[in-house]
Amino acid sequence: MKKLLLPALIAATFSVSAQNALEITVEQPKNEITIAPEMYGIFFEDINFAADGGLYAELVKNRSFEFTNSPLMGWLTYGKVEVRTDAGPFPRNPHYLRLNNTGLLMGTGIMNEGFRGMGVMEGKHYNFRFFSRAVGLGEAKLKVELISAANDIIASSEAEVTSGEWSEYKLQLKPDRTCSRASLRIGLVSPGELDIEHVSLFPADTWKGRENGMRKDLAQALADLQPGVFRFPGGCIIEGNNLETRYQWKHSVGPVENRPVNENRWNYEFQHRFTPDYFQSYGLGFFEYFLLCEDFGAEPLPVISAGIACQWATDECVPMEHMEPYIDDALDLIEFANGPVTSEWGRVREEMGHPEPFNMKYIGIGNEQWGEVFPVRLEAFQKAIKSKYPEIAVIGSSGPSADGKRFDYLWGEMKRLKVDLVDEHYYKDPEWFLASADRYDTYERKGPKVFAGEYACHVPDRKNSFYSALCEAAFLTGIERNADIVRLATYAPLFAHVDAWQWKPDMIWFDNLRSVRSANYHVQQLYRLYQGTNVMQVKAAEENVTGQNGIYASVVTDENSRQLIIKIANVNKSAIPVILSLKLKGLPEVLKGNKIILKANPGDENTLEAPELVKPDESDATFTGNTISLQVEPESFQVLVLEI
Ligand code: AHR
């Protein structure tokens, strides 16, 4: 048996005859290995328009006129429009507009372009909301319209601003046709002046019907993963390019109108994907993240700044003597999530409509930090958190790469600090993924556990090809085998807008109306839905199955559903015979269940136009005796789910 290190190259000429089937034995391990119930989950970051312009269903870009140095970005104005900052209704978002209809024929108004347009559907309702005051005497009348890409008016309504005090106004729009690139026009049709602020348009039909809600199809795609853990809100955005622009969770709670806008550090990160109109409204903030966790039954895993800004960018560091507010942010966050309603931050949660605690168990400190500046700051967090909340698991970091000097140094420090878990990141090529299925076989069992917090297989064109997903499936057999040390795993990144991405590959792609689940999504889903509870020992000639004959395998049982679950990836271009001898006690004579297979051409990729090119195929499976003989299909990942 031969372990293939470069299967993509070798596979073309490699074949195995029935005589040299790969013989695998499956046994109970000497020591029980249980899988964390929340093992496989999701990692969400506002990159690629994942939040604003994506999951967060708001259709208006720059609704508060707060984009830094460009309060009118995303807006077209006509007639007499002035940006003002005196005495607006929301102190943390000071800009608002004064419209003055002087009676010119053109009139006065504003138009919003949305996030690469607005996706609206025929016959559906859209909730339009704004804050306004009439200036001077009298009332003011606004015409509110949705305009199609072909410049037709596809929905229209009117609003009357009746007060000279700032007040909230609402109306509904119902487009008479579907359009993926509509825009919003608001015209002041009565003569005189009016002030306007926080101009918002949401589909009425959001996920769970929430007013400040999520786009339904995208939230559903997450729900269908049944994620066990939900890491948020990043990624690099928690660090910020500098300390000023780090993600501050306290800015993301309370009334949405008063959540201050922050720049999105992915706006100018890549010159070839320059996105200067990318900001964070914080409309999808920590309260909404916790709610989503509750909806999905996922453990919340918030990550906050360690007092170090992106080290690739500015490397700004908070002096140790000024770390207190950062550490308070961590303590207050735990209080916000779990504290009684009588506590300061528990009360904020209650005021937002959730008196019950969110039962948060994990907190991540820092993202991809490195060097001595990190452990010393992490230690301060760790001490403060553990002395007040010993039950909270603290997650440290091993930096931006999967190995090397920085990685080794940080792992040493994480052990010294006795953090509960260490976040590891790896964006690597197929060869690495296939050669690393044994990565955790030799990890030290004492000390911190592993959270594989960001990983993805990057093929040369960085497509979400079936081959990239297959390599991840093969690698994940190793994660599953080592579930005693790897307690959590999340693919990255999660979402990308086809017209506004900065980074690929990504698990779910979307435009303004449609979404598509990648081959990688299906691998994640299969691992999650069939993750089991207990790891079995799987050996071929006394070795873990990590690429012999191009085969990767892991086996688990599920004590709750009484299932034996066998996962096999074949990275060869030919079918491989495999014989599994099941040396497990109490198996039925006939094993019945399903075979779920993911199989496609290596370069196949699901797209909005062909969303189901790569998808799992399910069939019945029956085996007799304690031996399972298979011809494992070429370039395939299969899961056998058998009743026991
Ligand atoms: O997932 C995209 C980025 O990759 C994350 O923000 C960062 O943590 C990593 O470098």
Residue 19: its pLDDT value, please?
Answer: 55
Mapping DSSP to helix (H, G, I), strand (E, B) and coil, where does residue 409 land? helix
Q: Same structural domain for residues 627 and 512?
A: no
Band (pLDDT 50/70/90 cuts) for residue 207 is very high
Q: pLDDT per residue over 50-109, tens digit each?
A: 999 999 999 999 999 999 999 999 999 999 999 999 999 999 999 999 999 998 777 899
Structural domain includes residue 15: no
Tell which of 180, 203, 226 closes a domain: 203
- Pocket perturbation via mutation, ligand 1, pick of 46, 236, 374 by most ligand atoms within 8 A of CB: 236
Q: Is the pLDDT of residue 17 over 60?
A: no
Q: Quote the number of domains for the chain.
A: 3
Q: Same structural domain for residues 333 and 477?
A: yes
Other CB atoms within a 10 A radius of the CB of residue 356 amount to 9
**Residue position matching structure tokens 């599953």:** 480
- Distance between Cα 314 and ligand 1 center (Å): 16
Mapping DSSP to helix (H, G, I), strand (E, B) and coil, where does residue 387 land? helix
Q: Which atom of ligand 1 is least distant from the CA of 454?
A: 1
What is the secondary structure of 488-520 as a DSSP string?
EEEES--EEETTT-SS---SEEE-SS-EEE-HH
- 250 forms beta bridges with none
Q: Same structural domain for residues 101 and 244?
A: no
Q: pLDDT per residue over 469-496, tens digit each?
A: 999 999 999 999 999 999 999 999 999 9
Q: Alpha-carbon distance 564 to 63, whole Å?
A: 52
- Pocket perturbation via mutation, ligand 1, pick of 280, 367, 501 by most ligand atoms within 8 A of CB: 367
Q: Which residue has the least CA distance to atom 1 on ligand 1?
A: 493
Pocket of ligand 1 (CB under 6 A): 45, 47, 234-236, 367-368, 400, 425, 454, 492-493, 503
Torsion angle (degrees, nearest 10) of CA 401, 403, 408, 412: 80
Q: Alpha-carbon distance 571 to 574, whole Å?
A: 9
Q: State yes or no: is 368 an active-site residue.
A: yes
Tell which of 490, 511, 529 closes a domain: 529
Structural domain includes residue 63: no
Q: Alpha-carbon distance 226 to 34, whole Å?
A: 19
Residue 105: its pLDDT value, please?
Answer: 74
Q: Same structural domain for residues 635 and 585?
A: yes
Residue 4: its pLDDT value, please?
Answer: 45
Q: Alpha-carbon distance 10 to 23, whole Å?
A: 21
- Angle at Cα 280 formed by Cα 276 and Cα 282, nearest 5°? 170
Q: pLDDT per residue over 116-147, tens digit each?
A: 999 999 999 999 999 999 998 678 999 999 99
Structural domain includes residue 344: yes
CATH, residue 580: 2.60.40.1180
Q: Is the pLDDT of residue 376 over 80?
A: yes
What is the secondary structure of 578-601 as a DSSP string?
EEEEEE-TT--SEEEEEEEEEE--
Average pLDDT over residues 431-456: 98
Contact call for residues 452 and 489 (beta carbons, < 8 A): yes
Q: Taking all residues of the chain, what is their mean pLDDT, rounded to a whole number?
A: 96
Q: Same structural domain for residues 218 and 194?
A: no
Structural domain containing residue 547: 22-30+534-643
Q: Same structural domain for residues 278 and 325?
A: yes
Q: Which residue has the least CA distance to atom 4 on ligand 1?
A: 235
